[in-house]
Amino acid sequence: MGSSSSRLDRVPGAKDLMEETGFSETNILCLYDRFEVLDREERGYLRLEDFEAIQQLAVNPIGDRIIGAFVFPGRETLDFPSFVRVLAHFRPTDTTWSRSGSQPEPANSRTRKLRFAFSLYDQDGDGKISRAELTEMLQAMLGMQVTDEQLQSIVGRAIQEADLDRDGAISFDEFKKSVEKVDIDHKMSTRFLR
Amino acid sequence: MPVSYVHLWLWRSVVLICLVLGVSAVNGESKSDTHHHGNGSSITGIPIVSFKWHHVETPYLIVLWILVAGVAKMVIEANHHVTSVIPESALLICVGFLFGGIIWGADQKQTFSLTPTVFFFYLLPQIILDAGYFMPNKLFFSNLGGILIHAVIGTCWNAASVGLSLWGCHQGGAMGDIDIGLLQYLLFGSLIAAVDPVAVIAVFEEVHVNEVLFIMVFGESLLNDGVTVVLFNVFDAFVSLGGEKINAVEIIKGIISFFVVAFGGSLVGFVFGLLISLLTRCTKNIQIIEAGFIFVLGYLSYLTAEMLSLSAILSIAFCGICCQKYINANMDEKSVITVKYVMKVFANGSETIIFLFLGISAIDKTIWVWNTGFILLTVFFVFVYRCIGVFFLTWIQNKFRLVPLEVMDRIIMSYGGLRGAVAYGLAMMLDENKIKEKNLMIGTTLIVVYFTVILQGITMKPLVTWLKVKRASANEITLIEKVQNKVFDHMLVAIEDISGQIGHNYMRDKWKHFEEKWMSWFLMKPSARKKHDLVFDVFHQLNLKDAMNYVAEGERRGSLEFIRNETAFIDFKKKFADEYSEAMPDITVDMSDSYAAHSSMRDTVPSISLELHDQNTNGLRETEDINTHHLLQQHLYKGRKQHRHKYSRSHFTVNQDENEVQEIFQRTMRTRLESFKSTKMGVAPPKTITKHPKKDQQQKMPNGKSTDNGKYCHCDDDDFEFSGDDGASGYDPSAGSFPMRVTYRPGAGIENPVFMPDLDPMAPMQIPPWLAEAELDSSTVALSQRAQTGLPWTPSNLQRLAPLRISTRSTDSFMMADVPASQRQDEHLPPPPPPPPPSDDDRGHL
């Protein structure tokens, strides 16, 4: 394997990334390896097609949205630092980090994690989950068994639950409140990114 | 109030003691009885009545003990202020001491004690089956690694360290002169090592710690049985073999037997779980007994494992875990509920009996061989090594855990190492010939059990509060949360795919696919498979719940009309939604405790039931909603049938004719109305079917037109009354029962606010015949029990309600609904003096 410091050299901007995201050397190396595997043509960046080539993602009901969270529409490519930054959302929350710090909130904070989840719904980026957006999401996840009408009433019900200011859409704050009992750290962290 | 409480309690205690004395007396008799029986071969004639106690003795005593245990639990549970401090299990043990003392006093020896056979074969299985069946599977399996570490390594550590330390102290001379060797110490250590599932459930279910912590302790207690059984058997065998014959081969055999016992037991359970699932696939035609299969096969899995000398507890636990999903999907909804309740009855019952007998068994002079050093050191070591073990193991685990266990959690985990009846049962199984100090061990085990269950049990709650351990959030599931959880799951899988890791989520996803594709196909009914979707399921449940609340709310307000009558409802909603908005959260809180925690989520939702109606009308064709409506209807009809039943049974056999009934009713109403008008301060006694002449005032709803309309909703019988201007001060709450009557015209909105201060829980008992008959008329609606008991009647409310008397519209009354809601909580209506208590409680619970 070689010494880790020499391996780290081949990752561009590794130190800064570690600083920024809190990943360890092993994490960065591991992710870089993965990045290279995904980047089959060795262009140094990933394109939409590279993500779409991941087989399991194709069967994931919200796979498209996840890809969308990596490769922003308009920007066709994704370099390694951006790749790492997105994945940093899934690092378990540090217990040491406190709000009083002057530095920007790290990507693995609760709010940032939720913001990420929120953006999966909020496809048009207007800061609200509209009825149509929620319907789309549910449609993706519920499959065939549910009729349109049932879907509509589920959506209506869900919005009604969360929509505190009665504007017919779920804002980020409302979203945050609706899942406040959920242990986000459990649900939006993966072990190996620790 | 407190005085009567004490009286009640005393009365119950007396009954209890009489019962026990009865039992022991009867028991004493039985001995003399056997003599008679032996001599009584020469009968002189046919006895008309003969006393055959001997004939029924065993089952009779068993049933009596079950009864006693149940009554004991009832008495304990009736004293909330005690149970909030001391856990029920500890109290039951104390009651056991009391009974044990009484029996000892009567018999001079302990006639009843918990024998291993009874415990392991008849009391334990249902508790473990219950635990497995209600196991939160996802939580359990996602923490399985940690649980296994504690269950296997932790238990071995406890056994070894306690055994060795005691032996060390023995060598050091701390015990004095007792005949216990190293192996016997290890045997003792292994039986005392295991955390007891029964004790853990009993204590932790009252503490409500966060679910991860709970599953860690509880899972450990469940799974360490495999280890305990093996350790116990191995050391038991070693003791029999004697030290010199133990060699490497035997030790390796012991280690192998651990895997065989644990995995074999689990496998047996798994197979039986599949068997149950398969069976329930085809029980469509015998729905009545399908619930029984779970118990029979569950028990069979326990016995099978026992027969193969595998871990029976693991077997029955896994049986429950495996089958829960499929049988719930396969069986009829009613059977599922049956299983649920029967399971709880069995489990709770045997838990009660176990703790009771743990107490009773203590009062036995023969087992008390006091050895201060041995006993105190055991208690000390058990406690200390548990802490060391937990801290060390969680420290290792935290290196790998996604979310590390906090120090507070670790303290509670250590402190939650409760020992219980399993240890006692094992101690009783020791062979007296091989272990000279068996009684000392039994006694010490009991001391450890009492120490952990009583002392640690009592201090657990304050400790949890003091350490600010994360509590469990109230488990109110919302749709959005459910959806979001699913999104999270998918998201994590996707992230793992992208980053190319095979992690937990990946495995879970694969398992889910496999499960859905094969196991569900194999084990689930096709029809059940189709319906199976979690989000949809939650939606369904929420809908049902809302529907129930909706009905409850409607009934509480006294009117069900708006459920069936669209226009009325809209009318109602339009008018009252605003005024009502503040009150609703409170009302929902009152209606069901489970809503309390949830209310923050819905604080700003003006009215759950009102809003829901939109939903219902939206998707009226949906099956759920048809069900919902069906449900509503059922509730409606059921309620009225009960009224009718009672009435037609008890007093009223006349008035069969519906028109006549209507007429009487109208006439009554008219006269009442007049009397109301005439008496502003209202001292007119009810003129018609009055049953409570002592009421000094009456009031009824001004219902102008409704008299000629011919359609009424009357809530209860007589007069609805409260005093007028001075009502606030002069109201006597103890004045018991005064039913009320309210009317409204269906179809024109709710004319009648039925949440007027009717305070009489008894009211339905006194429904006049015309009402009893009128229930046939679909346009009339009776006020439910809940509606009546829930009514406000504090003086301030009454003041607010005063305008009612002059208003002819119901609007006002609805406005008043907000006050009552918040104040009702702490109200306890005194039971009305004369008539028997109301027996229609069930209607209150929708």
DSSP notation for B705-745: THHHH------SSS-B---STTHHHH--GGG----------
pLDDT by residue (tens digit) across A106-137?
A: 767 778 888 888 888 887 778 888 888 888 88
The pTM of this model reads 0.63
Q: What is the pLDDT of residue B342?
A: 92
Confirm whether B440 is domain-assigned. Answer: no
**What is the CATH superfamily name and number for domain A14-91?**
EF-hand (1.10.238.10)
Distance CA B780, CA B560 (A): 9
As a residue count, chain A comes to 194
Contact A66 B496 (CB under 8 A): no
Choose, out of A150, A174, A177, A182, the residue to mutate when testing the contact with B (most B CBs < 10 Å).
A150
Confirm whether B209 is domain-assigned. Answer: no
- CATH number for the domain formed by residue range(s) A108-194: 1.10.238.10
B479 contact residues in A (CB cutoff 8 A):
154, 157-158, 161
Q: What is the pLDDT of residue B307?
A: 93
**Does ipTM exceed 0.90?**
no
Confirm whether B716 is domain-assigned. Answer: no
A80 contact residues in B (CB cutoff 8 A):
none
Amino acid at B224: N
Confirm whether B74 is domain-assigned. Answer: yes
Winning range, highest mean pLDDT, from A78-82, A181-185, B638-642, B798-802: A78-82
All residues at 6 or more sequence positions from B440 whose CB lies less than 8 Å from its CB, including other chains: B178, B369, B371, B374
- Burial category of A185 from C-beta neighbours within 10 Å (exposed 0-12, middle 13-18, buried 19 and up): middle
Q: What is the pLDDT of residue B654?
A: 39
Contact B618 A153 (CB under 8 A): yes
Both tokens of A34, joined, read 């993965």
Contact call for residues B330 and B291 (beta carbons, < 8 A): no
Q: What is the DSSP letter of B471?
A: B
B478 near A CB under 8 A: yes
Q: What is the pLDDT of residue B316?
A: 93
Count of the separate structural domains present in chain B: 1
Contact call for residues A193 and A93 (beta carbons, < 8 A): no
Q: How many residue pairs from chains A and B have C-beta atoms closer than 8 A?
A: 157
Q: What is the mean pLDDT of residues A57-63?
A: 74
User: CA-CA-CA-CA torsion for B321, B324, B326, B328, nearest 10 degrees?
Assistant: 180
Confirm whether B323 is domain-assigned. Answer: no
Q: Which residues of chain B have pLDDT under 70?
A: 1-43, 243, 472-478, 501-505, 528-538, 556-846
Structural domain containing residue B43: 3-84
Contact B536 A154 (CB under 8 A): yes
Q: What is the pLDDT of residue B685?
A: 45
Residue A142 has its nearest CB partner, among B492, B498, B533, at B533
What does the domain layout of chain A look like in residue ranges? 14-91, 108-194
Task: Tell me how close the Cα of A103 comes to any Cα of chain B, in angstroms.
Answer: 24
Q: What is the pLDDT of residue A39?
A: 78
Distance CA B680, CA B13 (A): 51
Contact B487 A137 (CB under 8 A): yes
The interface residues of chain B toward chain A in range 586-615, judged by CB-CB distance below 8 A, are 601-602, 604-605, 611, 614-615
R_g of chain A, CA atoms, integer Å: 19
Both tokens of B101, joined, read 């003392």
